[in-house]
Amino acid sequence: MKRLTAGLLTGLTLCLWLGAGMAAQSRELKFSTPTPEPHIMTKSAHHLADAFAQAGTGDTIAVFPVNKLGDVPTVLSLLQSGAVELAVVPVGDLANRDPSFLAWFLPYQFDTLAEAGAAADSEPARDMLARLDSQGIKGLGYVFPGQRHLLSKQPITSAGEISGLKVRAFPNDIFNSWWRELGAAPTALPLPEIMPSLVTGVIDAVDVDIDIVSGLQMQKQAPYLILTNHMAFPAAILASARWWNSLSPEEQSGFEEMVAETQDWAIMTQTEGEAALLDRLAADGAQIGTIDDPALQAAGETVRNAFLDRDPLIRRFYEANQN
């Protein structure tokens, strides 16, 4: 992915926005994220807010992490009404609104975060975002916390040991199908309830990206991090269509450039920082391992086949991103 450099981008957007005749009265735009400050979703929001500030429009972006403006369904409603201008929303939540987004979660279609990041620029990935237009939401780009793994209270060395576990999983069909295929019991819980649920035994394990493990220090209660790498887990950068449509074409173009640069920055930051993050988790007590078990790939193939034709865009996305 080749973008304008940050310096050139700032200069370009500055000219675009100042030349667009923005209203004299400045505004503070609200930007919601579901994650804590150290997580890449929230860091990406701050990165975009900083680029916006450098454009010199007079407006500012205020970032509200950890769902301070409401849970994700509430934030999506606020986007539609125009009460919130911007949000980062996990694609798993968007899949509950449009099944095409399930394409991102087909097990084992990406070996690395870099591969998943490259898929963000594919035509089917952009078409998924375009489908949100009819819902009063403008999809602008993606950010990637990383691949999904399994964090457990007990060591796991084979796929068979996953059977019977109560796993906190993202609440949509494909996550549920994946864990059930492995014999586990998927359990939906909001982020604030994960840690106490590990303590009380409501859940035995968590389907996670390593960024959220670090951000919430989950390894304190579940020290075994198994790098299953079973799914990608992007989030989308969204705008309120009401706010977006109030911008001139030049302003929209300038903001799209800022989002594109943020998307590339976030992918690069996560790709380059994964090894260091794993080292920090290990130093803080996490026991990190892998599972070499063909049963995982077999389960992945079963789930992929079950979802490939759930929506035509799912198969298009999968075929477009096979190497």
Per-residue pLDDT tens digits for 120-161:
999 999 999 999 999 999 999 999 998 999 999 999 999 999
pLDDT score of 19 more than 70? no
E strand or H helix at 168: strand 166-168
Q: Is the pLDDT of residue 33 over 80?
A: yes
Lowest mean pLDDT segment, chosen from 24-28, 70-74, 98-102, 296-300: 24-28
Q: Is the pLDDT of residue 4 over 50?
A: no
Q: Please give the pLDDT value at position 25.
A: 76
For residue 316, the SS3 value is: helix
12-21, 66-75, 107-116, 307-316, range with the lowest pLDDT: 12-21
Beta strand spans in 7-100 (E): 28-32, 60-64, 86-90
User: What's the pLDDT score for residue 56?
Assistant: 86
pLDDT band at 281 (very low <50, low <70, confident <90, very high): very high
**Alpha helix locations (H) across 190-248?**
194-200, 210-216, 241-245
* Least confident residue range of 76-80, 212-216, 220-224, 232-236: 212-216
| Euclidean distance between CA atoms 222 and 312, whole angstroms | 39
Q: What is the pLDDT of residue 3?
A: 54
The structure tokens 């865009």 sit at 313
What's the whole-model pTM score?
0.91
Reply yes or no on whether the pLDDT at 12 is more than 80: no
pLDDT of residue 89: 98
- Cβ atoms 98, 176 nearer than 8 A: no
Residues 6+ away with beta carbon under 8 Å from 262 = 44, 47, 48, 51, 141, 143, 237
pLDDT band at residue 163 using 50, 70 and 90 as cut-offs? very high
What is the percent of the chain where pLDDT is above 90? 87
pLDDT tens figures, 49-108: 999 999 988 899 999 999 999 999 999 999 999 999 999 999 999 999 999 999 999 999
Please state the rounded mean pLDDT for residues 172-181. 97
Q: Find, among 296, 246, 239, 279, the residue nearest to 262 by Cα.
A: 239
Q: Quick check: 68 and 82 in contact, CB under 8 A?
A: no
From residue 128, alpha-carbon distances to 77, 149, 227 in Å are 19, 25, 28
Rg over CA atoms, the chain: 20
More confident residue, 83 or 9: 83
Which residue, 42, 23, 10, 5, is CA-closest to 247?
23
Q: What is the mean pLDDT of the chain?
A: 92
Q: What is the pLDDT of residue 305?
A: 97
Cα–Cα distance, 302 to 52 (Å, whole number):
44
Q: State whether residue 318 is helix, strand or coil.
A: helix
Res 15 pLDDT > 70: no
Best CA proximity match to 262, nearest among 104, 11, 85, 88: 88
